[in-house]
Structure 1
């Protein structure tokens, strides 16, 4: 990495903590840190409208959001309620898991752009700075990090938080290895608002398994609906899932997803391919740095825990950094061990969930059995 050495230059910006990435995990980490008095900058690119797809947020996020002081804002921000999850898994019939009987009530079908913006604004209101850019270079000096951005910005910080997602490039620059368990991808299409009908959509997420993978769909605020075909990256071409017409024809071959997209008469104009595989950073923290969210532990969407994990790891990493700053040796190592244990528990649950579907002896399912 080019730079001006350990002392930086006249244009170097100095902070206690630099957060690379402005999603939920990074913003929560920044929020906890600035409330404790740390000087924090969030380096994150401007995301064009439509780049973030909506998804469901489980009710277990409520106590996390409440502790962060942002629950009321999220609840009033136009997201629609999610009453539970439906699945056709291991059999054609639907099974339901309702939220209303649980301790936290309903979850939400999110407008992701609005949700992420609310967390970023909360961090900025607390005192975090935001720099619009992308981290390109990371170099470790004895007592701090020197970070450069794609547009030539230069920063120094005592701590580095990697919230860049599954790629986890800053964590890898810090010495972590990203261990991937599979190559699951989502071929996602956004439908709506519908061209026919005005009935209120069912307020639940739905998964439906197929011989080559599974489908996910959920209603979104504003009458839209997200639909994703989940399969392994090497199977996409043979299935022709990148062709919107073929993708749409496969939707029509389902049972329950077809029913929930009946109000739409045409496929989406474009499809997006999103990484959705399971992965873990090993370790997820070290001297002066920590990974959060998908950079620390990335989970299969089937687990429905991505955003909740982002909130929890962002908060936990921030507390570990604050403890390390206060002289508590081992705080960051303890965080890394906690992430490893959480990911191991998730992998066991993932195996059990996929083993519930035994109807097909195909490459996708053999890999998971």
Structure 2
């Protein structure tokens, strides 16, 4: 592959691959493509949020981070260790799944803003160009794509990677369809200990309730994320948008309240986030792929968002390189793998929710217990 890319100015020109989205999936794809000799431009908006919800990075991501040359960066960049997950689920007493004794050791509780910024910097240092903004229009012309951005830039690219997250904004414009399985919603707050003192726990904690479930995890720097998870249409009825009511419900839990006992005030603000499961069909087509949450967005309960972002980013890059080398089945095969992986995930998700039977009559749980399992398919 060859082309001319430039990160300066409004008009970028031509490139081999345009990656829409600068998160882990987009950066993983860009890094793999650049190292294979492709000319890559990443189009992504400048981060404006004052904080991002942290994510646990599973130990199974270690080999992928090592392949990308990022393992030492993550290990040495001040991210907090994650030794496992505790869950009060299906019963009052919490159970624990330890990660320390697994084949890859502990994972991490990430400072997502720092992780994403470092990953983007590594991709840029490897040779990927950066254009701040979002893709606005895209159309096919002969053997390449032409795109405009909201900053007015005109770009030409032979291939596209949509790593724009759950909305799959670029794939929608190409005729693909994001398919949602549920409308799980997170109402999240960032908690800070007095004096910035960090808690002693290095595990995530999940606790189910009649209307959904709570999640909390420590983050670097003495902060802690706390999220109430329920369906979008149930948020108002559970009063979770009211900061004081949200905090009061957290105080009435059996286990979450002990984990946040050293935090003596509710957060300054709450953030409402889409957290439902979805996938884009198809996940690839002539000259394009989707990766990360745009390809397969999973329930936070699965704790596999970063892992899937890295894996699909790398796999989408391989598919593009194979297609460019003459493998006419590579992109369709990639789309098949994404479809199979997502259906496998949906079956595992259904099994996990069916473990909690204490509130079968409540709408949140009834929906999940009555949902039909997806059929078994293979890539």
Rounded to whole Å, the distance in 2 between the matches of 1:124 and 1:367 is 45
Rounded to whole Å, the distance in 2 between the matches of 1:11 and 1:272 is 35
- C-alpha displacement at 1:11, in angstroms? 4.1
Which deviates the most, 46-55 or 336-345?
46-55
Q: Deviation per CA, 1:63-82, whole angstroms, max 9, x where unpaired?
A: 01011111111111110110
Query: Which residue is equivalent to 2:94?
Result: 94
- C-alpha displacement at 1:38, in angstroms? 0.3
Structure 1 residues 200 and 261, CA, compared in 2 at 3 Å: closer, same or farther? closer
Does the Cα contact within 8 Å between 2:196 and 2:223 map onto a contact in 1?
Answer: no
Query: Which residue is equivalent to 2:117?
Result: 117
Rounded to whole Å, the distance in 1 between the matches of 2:111 and 2:155 is 32
> Paired residues, what number?
359
- C-alpha displacement at 1:118, in angstroms? 1.5
- C-alpha displacement at 1:285, in angstroms? 0.4
Cα RMSD, aligned residues only:
1.3
Does the Cα contact within 8 Å between 1:197 and 1:263 map onto a contact in 2?
Answer: no
Query: Which residue is equivalent to 2:132?
Result: 132
Secondary structure of the structure 2 residue equivalent to 1:92 = coil
Query: Which residue is equivalent to 1:356?
Result: 355
Q: Deviation per CA, 1:264-317, whole angstroms, max 9, x where unpaired?
A: 111111000010000010000000000000000000000110110000000000
Does the Cα contact within 8 Å between 2:198 and 2:221 map onto a contact in 1?
Answer: no
Secondary structure of the structure 2 residue equivalent to 1:202 = coil
- C-alpha displacement at 1:200, in angstroms? 3.6
- C-alpha displacement at 1:201, in angstroms? 2.4
Moved over 3 A (4+): 196-200
Query: Which residue is equivalent to 1:263?
Result: 262
Structure 1 residues 363 and 155, CA, compared in 2 at 3 Å: closer, same or farther? same
TM-score, length basis structure 1: 0.95
- C-alpha displacement at 1:197, in angstroms? 9.3
2:311 matches 1:309: no
Structure 1, unpaired ranges of 5+? 1-9
TM-score, length basis structure 2: 0.93
Does the Cα contact within 8 Å between 2:133 and 2:150 map onto a contact in 1?
Answer: yes
Query: Which residue is equivalent to 2:368?
Result: 368
Query: Which residue is equivalent to 2:287?
Result: 288
Does the Cα contact within 8 Å between 2:199 and 2:218 map onto a contact in 1?
Answer: no
Query: Which residue is equivalent to 1:4?
Result: none
Structure 2, unpaired ranges of 5+? 1-9, 370-379
